[in-house]
Structure 1
Amino acid sequence: MSGSGPTPTGISLRRRRAITAGLLLGMSLGAMEATVVGTAMPTVIASLGGLAHYSWVFSAYLLTSTASVPIWGRLSDLYGRRRMYLMGIGVFLAGSAASGAAGSMAQLIAARAFQGLGAGALVPLSMTIIGELYTMAERARTQALFSGVWGVASVAGPLVGGYVTDSLSWRWVFLLNLPLGVLALGVIAWAYPPSRRAAHVTVDWMGAGLLFGGVSTLLLAIGGDTGAGIWWLALAAGLLVTFWRVERRAPEPLLPLDLLRDPLMARTIAVVFLVGVALFGCIAFIPLFVQGVLGGSATEAGQVLTPLFLGWVVMSIVGARLTLGLGYRPVAIGGSILMTIGFAGLTRLTPSSARTTIFLWGSLIGSGMGCSMLSQLLAVQQAVPRSRLGIATSLNQFSRSVGAAIGVAVMGAILSRGLAGDVPVDGVAAGAGLLGGTHAPALAAALHTVFVACALASAAGLVAALMLPAVRFAGGRTAESVPEPAGGPPVSAPREERVSLTE
């Protein structure tokens, strides 16, 4: 990366490179943690039991990491990027240590929820800091580097999780974060100068609390085993309706509801949400099929997810070029078709299926995901005013993450109900018997229902993709794009008065 041209911060090239390296390491930990646990989980339930709560190890992390993203962003505006990033990675490492030391499934779920709170700071604040460190010419190359590292980390996650689980222990899947995270924390603390705010920025704590509570109770209503699902659902509805009312009146809302009037925003959110439901439900349960039905090891369970993530990374690059040449709608629709075919293929898996079959269907799912998600994100960023680019991008990512959390909870509930009466889902003995193949036919039947649900969600996403509006990439915003808010563009957050360090 060249050091030519003025830098937005006045920080020297050597320090900027050090900061970038620290951010890359921290972001790779966050990306890997989202995928590394899947291949370890069958071994975890053999050790701790609690198959009925299998999905909550994923859902707790996804929920807190999703709900905390806008909060970390607001706090970084108020207190500075450096302080909030260091706090976020500290929370992430504390959650990692607690996860590795968990003695029960309940403790592991609580630790994963805490870990997710910190993970919510890693990726969005990394991209924000990069935007402040580099000029526009430098930023394009740097963000390409971040995308590549994210892809490699996501692909490596299942392989690393499987290898570490087989060679050491499932606990080291979490504990290995500690030395790498401490290194990233130290580099950022040394190289990145502190900043101070010149003005106050309001944090929408009421909106944050209502959104967090509403999504949490919705997940309890869907995937809980408390026998009071209708009451959880009523509470979730009440919290989310209150959230909607609060956001309508908030001067600086956590979620700007007027964006949802834009046809492109509303429809892409629907597509992205449904894709999140299908994709992460699939990622969470394919390893269980490989180990519990096919009798594979944790390493082999990780290997079957590799084509999915490789297809995602490769087709993200290809899809970006196709989007600029063909427009985003054909690429998004084509991606949705590939995903639906892949999910339909998963529904045909049997206890005698070869692992290469899973490779095929997984590669189709990943390729479709790469085309669909990136093309829609590019369309959203092209369509909204520049003053709302960050909000629109965050809303797109937030909807996918909420879909992922709900998808894992829904699929977990389907699995538990499918096994009810045939397989004991609590206790260490139940977990060991599940991996030992004693209940492989019952597990295969329950997972078949899970994969059918994933395929239906993907098909619904395809239907929604067919209704996406057109966007002109060559001539600026689409005519249907959301207008500026009444009274002109929203007032941007006050600029930071930064402290520059010289060599």
Structure 2
Amino acid sequence: MSFSDTRHSTLRRRYAGIFFDLTGQARWLASLTLILGVGSHAVNGFVTAAALPDIIRELGGQERAFWVFTLFQVAAIVAGTMTGTLKARLGAKPLFIFATLLLLAGSLVAGLALSIPGLLAGRFVQGFGEGMIMALCYIVIPDLFEERAVPAVYSLLSAVWALAAGAGPLMAGILIETWSWRAAFLANVPLTALLLMLALAVIPSATREKAEISDKAKAAAIPRLLMIAIAVTLISFIGEMSDPKAIVTVLAAGLGLIVFTLYLDGRSALPFVPKGAFRLAGILGLSVWIRLIMSSSNAIRGVYYTGIGQSLWGLSVTQASYASTLTAFSWTIAAWLVAGVSDPDAQRRFIRLGTISSAIGLATVAWALFMQSFPLFAVGSIACGAGFGMSYLFLSKSIIYATEGAERDRAAGIIPTLTSAGVAIGAAITSLFALQFGLSEPGTGELVTREAAIASGPPVFLVMAGFAALAIPLAFALPKLRRAG
């Protein structure tokens, strides 16, 4: 047998093993639950964004359109923050059922709303349910799958995000054009029915923490959740601001409030965040910081990619949207290519390579804008996505298995919250530098003009590439990862 045949045989066995880990011994039900739970959150954003113009035309309230997304995001982050602790004490099954009912209620309220306040109320409840479901999908992975299969599970979830990015706009258009914007929310009704059935069949009920918590400790948790909500709201509101000094002030206030909340959480008898999660040392702390930096630095893509594609290369809205999905698809392909890697040293190398690829990708996009080259723009986008794909599944696994017991539930629960918070922080930082360099020009009526994309796009993307590069030394400082048990 030739070397090529041997290599292909090895790859076939590896991917056959991955397929068995995801579907064998009735685990396909667990995989389906995660696909639907994460997929509902992923598709929701695309569908709501597509429905917003029709919502404004029917209900009015253009000045409050910002809150349609912000209230959802705030609720999702708060829910995700508390889910790990609640799961450890109450078990995942009752929480999953409760979260699914919240998603159902919020979707009905939003879908049947006769005014913008009603829609906003529904979005808040919907966000709380979605945030809790997302966190639970990550938390139950160690309960439903063997440790060696965890990277494959994350690869599966990355494929869900890529599929949502590719099919989301098309699904949104079909639903809204054949029915109305209300379908964007009412389509969740049959989904929640299926999620409830799967929750009853698949989600475990086991708890990890048995010790009683005092009423004082429970009461002290509420202010911390409120502070998180205020901090996220402040940071999210920066997208509506145009004064750089005000942005710096609000961003500092929001970040300061987060730091203070984490300090209080570390001293609490009922913490939401695992101990050591934000120390610049150890597997847990370094993995958390790497993931947060990568999410924050790449938030610029979500803010400006579509606008740049339209203004600089004359793409239609649909063409620009699909051009931006290059990152999602390269992410998924890279994740699947490395999913079967089990050697801890190789996993650590892919984390390092991922941080490098992410920074180089953003720098390449800056160069593409300077050269006005769409092919180069596509290469940079692919490099960003590949960087995430080859690193995030091993970073997620490192975060989960750096802890034990209830701390593991908290660690797994903050993974989607880290991404959401990172995107919010990154979008705020991007807004600041976009104003400073002139990429965003208030009063023009456009998100970004062709002239601004050429002149100001390169320095803004280079700054964010430098931000992304901060993760590289942290990746090289990462201790040796543990071998799967």
**TM-score (norm: length of structure 1):** 0.71
Which of 132, 157, 161 aligns to 1:154? It is 161
Q: Please give the per-residue CA displacement for 1:208-264, whole angstroms capped at 9, x wherever unaligned.
A: 223333343345468745775566456546634542443243112122444545533
Matched, 1:247 2:258: no
Query: What residue in structure 1 maps to residue 6 of structure 2?
Result: none
Aligned to 1:292: 311
Are 1:441 and 2:451 an aligned pair? Answer: yes
The C-alpha deviation readout for 1:120-143, integer Å capped at 9, x for no partner, is 1122223455666x5x56x977x6
Is residue 56–residue 409 contact of structure 1 (8 Å, CA) maintained in 2?
A: no
Q: Which whole-Å CA distance do the structure 1 matches of 2:254 and 2:62 have between them? A: 25
Which residue of structure 1 lines up, in the alignment, with residue 477 of structure 2?
467
Q: Which moved more, 1:399-408 or 1:383-392?
A: 383-392
1:233–1:18: structure 2 CA closer, same or farther, 3 Å change rule?
closer
Q: What's the counterpart of residue 499 of structure 1?
A: none
Q: Which moved more, 1:192-201 or 1:355-364?
A: 192-201
Give 1:209's aligned amino acid: L
Alignment match of 1:181 (pick from 188, 192, 199) = 188
Alignment partner of 1:208 is 2:225:
yes
Aligned partner of residue 304 in structure 1, secondary structure: helix
Give yes or no for contact 2:84–2:412 (8 Å, CA) kept in 1: no
CA contact (8 A) 2:430 2:460 kept: yes
What is the match of residue 4 of structure 2?
none
Question: How many equivalent residue pairs?
Answer: 449
Q: TM-score, normalised by structure 2?
A: 0.73
Amino acid at match of 2:418: S
Asked if the contact 1:20–1:130 (Cα under 8 Å) also holds between the matched residues in 2, the reply is: no
Shift of 1:69: 0.6
Report if the CA contact (8 A) 2:278-2:289 is conserved: no
**Aligned partner (choices 443, 455, 458) of residue 465 of structure 2:** 455
Letter paired with 1:402: A
1:271-330 deviation digits (Å, cap 9, x = unpaired): 211101122321332122122332222321232133312221222233344461633332
The corresponding residue for 1:311 is 330
Where do residues 17-416 of structure 1 align in structure 2 (5 Å cutoff)?
Answer: 21=32, 24-34=35-45, 61-76=72-87, 81-92=92-103, 115-128=126-139, 134=144, 147=154, 149-164=156-171, 175-190=182-197, 192-193=199-200, 203=218, 204-220=221-237, 224-225=241-242, 228-229=246-247, 232=250, 235-236=253-254, 239-240=257-258, 242-261=260-279, 262-322=281-341, 324=343, 326-350=345-369, 353=372, 355-385=374-404, 388-415=407-434
- What's the CA shift string for 1:133-170, capped at 9, x where partnerless? x5x56x977x6785455333311233334335666759
Distance in 2 between residues matched to 1:89 and 1:337, nearest whole Å = 39
- Are the structure 2 counterparts of residues 265 and 54 from structure 1 closer, same or farther at C-alpha, using a change threshold of 3 Å? farther
Work out the CA distance in 1 between the residues paired with 2:479 and 2:142.
30
Give the whole-Å Cα distance in 1 for the aligned partners of 2:321 and 2:106. 23
Relative to structure 1, the CA distance from residue 189 to residue 400 in structure 2 (aligned partners, 3 Å threshold; closer, same or farther) is closer
SS in 2 for 1:184: helix
- Partner SS, residue 183 of structure 1: helix
Deviation at 1:455, TM superposition (A): 1.3
SS at match of 2:273: coil
1:374-405 residue CA offsets vs partner (Å, 9 max, x unmatched) = 22233344443456333333345433332111
Q: 1:253 to 1:358 in 2, by over 3 A?
A: same
SS of residue matched to 2:135: helix
Task: Give the stretch that moved more between structures: 164-173 or 57-66.
Answer: 164-173
8 Å Cα contact 1:293-1:443 kept in structure 2: yes
CA shift at 1:421, angstroms?
9.2
What letter is aligned with 2:451? Answer: P
Q: Is the 8 A contact 1:22 1:184 kept in 2?
A: no
Separation (CA, whole Å) in 2 of partners of 1:144 and 1:81: 21
Q: Is the 8 A contact 1:411 1:453 kept in 2?
A: no
Residue 304 of structure 1 contacts residue 355 of structure 1 at CA under 8 Å; is this kept in 2?
Answer: no
Write out per-residue CA displacement over residues 68-123 of structure 1, whole angstroms, 9 at most, x where no aligned residue: 21323444555664443344334445655777799999998887555432221122
Task: Answer 1 or 2: which has greater helix percent.
Answer: 2
CA contact (8 A) 1:65 1:116 kept: yes
How far apart, in 2, do the equivalents of 1:150 and 1:366 lie? Answer: 14
Unaligned runs of 5+ in 1: 1-12, 477-503
- Do the aligned partners of 1:159 and 1:299 also contact (CA within 8 Å) in 2? no
Among all aligned residue pairs of Structure 1 and Structure 2, give the percentage whose two residues are the same amino acid: 20
Counterpart residue identity of residue 253, structure 1: P
Q: Which residue of 2 aligns with 1:484?
A: none
CA contact (8 A) 1:96 1:174 kept: no
> What amino acid is the match of 1:463?
P
1:71 is aligned with what amino acid? M
Match of 2:15 in 1: none
The whole-number CA distance in structure 2 between the counterparts of 1:18 and 1:420 is 47
Q: Is the 8 A contact 1:39 1:161 kept in 2?
A: no
- Residue 346 of structure 1: how far off its partner (Å): 0.8
Aligned to 1:486: none
| Cα separation, 2, equivalents of 1:171 and 1:451 | 39
Cα distance in 1 for partners of 2:400, 2:441 equals 49
Task: Give the conservation status (yes or no) of the 8 Å contact 1:271–1:464.
Answer: yes
CA contact (8 A) 2:330 2:385 kept: yes
Q: Which amino acid aligns with 1:243?
A: T
- Quick one: higher RCO (CA 8 Å, sep 6+), 1 or 2? 1
